[in-house]
Structure 1
């Protein structure tokens, strides 16, 4: 059957393809596309563009906070916002997977077309063809990884389907979860030899190290499923526990290959640990040695709304303060003097105690300061406040946001009560990746790249795999490299909890924690039957201290049953393919 591809008009023009447009309007047949380098690059660019390495969607990109909300790092400002409905909803066969869904078989079909047809090109040179097929194999492996960690085993389709195919091909059954992870690994093994060894990932183009990082991440995920999960539906979900060590080894080997390439290193351009970690996410392109692969953005051209959404209230922005950080998550960040983040007893957070804010927050892990707004954070040349009231020197309490008060002996002025949106939910806000130079007065005017893979994750992946392989010295060394860069005390020994905690604080708000809790099979404990907390700050002018108390950050208790380790298929999807089997518990 003669198939045709719709090529976006503007992309074709950018590659100088007016002649083809004149001949065939908006459609270019595949035998033309894969005989021309520019058209092939345009086709591949469309595949990249459809990947959704970072989740967006919703009003003003509000869904950019969805994975963090699902993983109880932060919530969103308002209950109507999709990230909040995502963590609250109870998944059922009737409602389906909801906003966490990803069913990218249309993109997989287009990838399959390239992989099938590119070898038949008679005009393109062999090295070009091999590289483009290798990039497509990576994209296909990535899509199947996203499917597997949501649903377990899924239909494995590697050739384009046609309407006249036999029913067993048009309606494929689910492969075993193990088979999907083995496919991912093998796809990348085929791709790696034909990908560039010269780093191009920071510029948004897949290279050898990018493929190795997907092996590192996906095989670590498979190892965890084997180690901590349970096989059900005859292997459609779950991986036999006897396979765990082999997958840990594959993850370890991939991480080791990235490390031993000596192409990357931890970002260390500033001696100030807070400034260094903040700058890491704003220093883009090949000049940042930590970036292995990034999704590229440019304001308005291909921009997002992170700064417009996330900056604190009080900066003259129409929309702001959308990502309130949960105190439960803040407690994971330890203190630089060696105290744990949970060393402050929650029972001591009462109206009878007062706290120096610099000790309570300012002496925590520099990654906390660089990642989270808290009371008196310096930002854009001013301090950000989160207190709901002030006890004045005469003993009266003011909640007047328009009243400026002066600290005795300093001359510093601050409001008697902070801006409303800063106070409302948790009195902490996400700061990581924000650009202080961006005025953010409109949607889509942020251009910070999203780092899909960075070198710190390489070290964390290696540490975790090495730990379960019995290589604890290597695990400790890798963890301490991350901690040393952060400005935290080095550890003398290593535990499973140490590795998990380090991962959560280093990769905070980078769409990792939710999936980690899933693969470790501890989401039922961390996210189940839990009512997360926010803070209430009351400032005392005379003593320059705060009374800090807890409040419920969420209207409902979070629930996470065992069945939620996999998402359900909705009734429509089951009806579309009668050979799909529903996941357990739905």
Structure 2
């Protein structure tokens, strides 16, 4: 591993930089040594804010934040508009030792180094009071645990570094071996359990600052992941990957306990502000700081904005890019109907040119969470309709049936496009709607401000249900699942099973960067991601009967590949060259 040398200087951040009216173009920049940062609260907060900024809560890289769809693309939920966009390469590329983990790579040791530096130095402050020091120390330890969690779900065991490395350290510290996957999880869980015992009940997570409930949420998620790997995976490479099966029940219990503590706190509740179930689920992600938000990465237009609205809005509206996140039909089939029909009750063999469909029945009567999450033909948006059909067939004035693919037609006195904008139909003829802000009628790149919910109470209930089920408490699992289904307006379940627990999780947390990791920890990813050609739809509108012919098409140019080696990502040869003590993962 390349030696992480101490930083010498950091720029003074915040108001200090802007206090002077003199030209910042000609003024010599002010800098301050790290050694005195922790003698001043403003500088300490600036240092910690920089750590937050570097955290991988969501991918916001790529031109115009196109990489926000990285993990959903990997998990076959939605893809990006064009193959040249980085998220699409997550499922098309072949992972090799030479290439490493590619777009999914995260080797977070710069953040680890910054956190370790804070932990080592803030305790020696002569100016900061003990309560403040403890608060910032606990905050930093949670962020360090989160960083290790992001690495362990990718690589299994990684080097465990808990002190700042210096050039004169012993070689075994400068070039550390990988800890086992179990040791990394044990470190994460022990760190979280320790800080939770010292953190106050104050809620700051919705405002983007780690609190006790953030730590509990990470403890709930991380221990559930570890339990799954122990139950469904196997230990390999002398423990570099894998969790001992004998620890599974204890790990489920840890997740159960952490989830229950959040549930029993009375601080959080499912968002239920609107009677209309679709409106309610839509507003959940726009009404920021609500009762369901446990921890969020906070965005603000201009100051720290993103481009979701500009990228995601369908063509035909004011967005300058648009239509960037085509939803895969494979994901749509997971959403059941409010009358109890399964999403898969519509057989793919019925999607043929000889059969037509009422669009409201095909889509509009599905789970309200679907309608709040996906654009489909004639979805209402900003006072108009979103279109996805490639042609319109109708009877003309001469009484002849004709098909038009361009121009505008009259439909019962209203203007009707013979075909949609090409971008809307290019991949799947379905688009991501979840988290888009309908009030943003002129979206601009970098000017959207929806927060990204890293942890929300719905996940707590899902974690609880899964852990309770495997601990032999199906009644408690069922109650947690039905709280979610009741909020969504879906028929209540009569029993909790492994299948419906997993199904509910994928539907509730759809497009929230969870499914890919869930499929991996359950060790069922090959079923959905290997030798699978995902599907899109083609819509042809029949104006005479107000119905659509719906047929399937391939959404991607090739089959997805997910061999068993892909449960872990490869460590690149560059990293191994930096640290020859790093061992490669099995299968690479």
Normalising TM by the smaller chain, what interval?
over 0.9
Give the Cα separation in 2 of the matches to 1:398 and 1:11: 61
- Determine helix, strand or coil for the equivalent of 2:565: helix
Structure 1 unaligned blocks of 5 or more = none
Give the Cα separation in 2 of the matches to 1:149 and 1:5: 32
Q: 2:50 aligns to what? A: 46
Within the alignment, does 1:405 sit opposite 2:423 as a pair? Answer: no
* Residue 340 of structure 1: how far off its partner (Å): 0.4
Give the Cα separation in 2 of the matches to 1:535 and 1:280: 28
Deviates more, 1:125-134 or 1:439-448: 439-448
Deviates more, 1:398-407 or 1:373-382: 398-407
Give the Cα separation in 1 of the matches to 2:203 and 2:13: 28
- Determine helix, strand or coil for the equivalent of 1:34: helix
Match of 1:544 among 543, 546, 554: 546
Within the alignment, does 1:346 sit opposite 2:360 as a pair? Answer: no
Give the Cα separation in 1 of the matches to 2:188 and 2:448: 33
* Correspondence list, 1:398-547, <5 A: 398-407=403-412, 411-547=413-549
Give the Cα separation in 1 of the matches to 2:45 and 2:198: 16
Q: 1:180 aligns to what? A: 184
Give the Cα separation in 1 of the matches to 2:99 and 2:427: 28
Once the two structures are superposed, what CA deviation does each residue of 1:271-290 show, in whole Å capped at 9, x if it has no partner? 000000000000012xx100
* Residue 56 of structure 1: how far off its partner (Å): 1.3
Give the Cα separation in 1 of the matches to 2:496 and 2:443: 46
Match of 1:270 among 270, 274, 288: 274
Give the Cα separation in 2 of the matches to 1:334 and 1:530: 22
Q: 1:162 aligns to what? A: 166
* Residue 34 of structure 1: how far off its partner (Å): 1.1
Contact between 2:369 and 2:508, CA under 8 Å: does it hold in 1? yes
Once the two structures are superposed, what CA deviation does each residue of 1:393-447 show, in whole Å capped at 9, x if it has no partner? 245443433323314xxx3332111111111110100000000111344210100
Give the Cα separation in 1 of the matches to 2:61 and 2:451: 17
* Residue 193 of structure 1: how far off its partner (Å): 2.9
Deviates more, 1:147-156 or 1:25-34: 25-34
Q: 2:114 aligns to what? A: 110
Contact between 2:318 and 2:442, CA under 8 Å: does it hold in 1? no
Runs of 4+ aligned residues of structure 1 deviating over 2 Å after TM superposition are: 1-12, 14-18, 24-31, 193-196, 394-402, 439-442
**1:12–1:4 distance in 2 versus 1, CA, 3 Å:** farther
Match of 1:309 among 308, 311, 314: 311
Tell me the TM-score normalised to structure 2 length. Answer: 0.96
Contact between 1:5 and 1:27, CA under 8 Å: does it hold in 2? no
Within the alignment, does 1:120 sit opposite 2:158 as a pair? Answer: no
Q: 1:376 aligns to what? A: 378
Give the Cα separation in 2 of the matches to 1:27 and 1:154: 34
Q: 2:200 aligns to what? A: 196
**1:12–1:194 distance in 2 versus 1, CA, 3 Å:** farther
* Correspondence list, 1:27-38, <5 A: 27-38=31-42
Match of 2:105 among 85, 101, 104: 101
**1:396–1:194 distance in 2 versus 1, CA, 3 Å:** same
* Residue 522 of structure 1: how far off its partner (Å): 0.5
* Residue 26 of structure 1: how far off its partner (Å): 4.2
Give the Cα separation in 2 of the matches to 1:5 and 1:388: 60
* Residue 3 of structure 1: how far off its partner (Å): 5.2
Give the Cα separation in 1 of the matches to 2:246 and 2:45: 43
Q: 1:554 aligns to what? A: 556
Deviates more, 1:257-266 or 1:195-204: 195-204
Give the Cα separation in 1 of the matches to 2:469 and 2:114: 39
Give the Cα separation in 1 of the matches to 2:69 and 2:115: 28
Q: 2:364 aligns to what? A: 362
* Residue 373 of structure 1: how far off its partner (Å): 0.2
Give the Cα separation in 2 of the matches to 1:207 and 1:500: 28
- Determine helix, strand or coil for the equivalent of 1:392: strand
Q: 1:87 aligns to what? A: 91
**RMSD between superposed Cα atoms in Å:** 1.8
* Residue 198 of structure 1: how far off its partner (Å): 1.6
Give the Cα separation in 2 of the matches to 1:2 and 1:430: 43
Once the two structures are superposed, what CA deviation does each residue of 1:437-470 show, in whole Å capped at 9, x if it has no partner? 1134421010000000000000000000001000
**1:81–1:326 distance in 2 versus 1, CA, 3 Å:** same
- Determine helix, strand or coil for the equivalent of 1:194: coil
Give the Cα separation in 2 of the matches to 1:228 and 1:511: 21
* Residue 25 of structure 1: how far off its partner (Å): 6.1
* Residue 16 of structure 1: how far off its partner (Å): 7.2
**1:413–1:17 distance in 2 versus 1, CA, 3 Å:** closer
Give the Cα separation in 2 of the matches to 1:529 and 1:17: 61
Once the two structures are superposed, what CA deviation does each residue of 1:146-167 show, in whole Å capped at 9, x if it has no partner? 0000000000000000011111
**1:383–1:2 distance in 2 versus 1, CA, 3 Å:** closer
Deviates more, 1:438-447 or 1:222-231: 438-447
Give the Cα separation in 1 of the matches to 2:44 and 2:161: 22
Structure 2 unaligned blocks of 5 or more = none
Give the Cα separation in 1 of the matches to 2:11 and 2:431: 39
Q: 1:231 aligns to what? A: 235
Contact between 2:5 and 2:165, CA under 8 Å: does it hold in 1? no
- Determine helix, strand or coil for the equivalent of 1:548: strand
How many residues get paired?
Answer: 577
Deviates more, 1:560-569 or 1:386-395: 386-395
Give the Cα separation in 1 of the matches to 2:61 and 2:315: 23
Contact between 1:15 and 1:38, CA under 8 Å: does it hold in 2? no
Give the Cα separation in 2 of the matches to 1:454 and 1:376: 31
Within the alignment, does 1:257 sit opposite 2:248 as a pair? Answer: no
Once the two structures are superposed, what CA deviation does each residue of 1:34-78 show, in whole Å capped at 9, x if it has no partner? 111111111111111111311111111111111110000011111
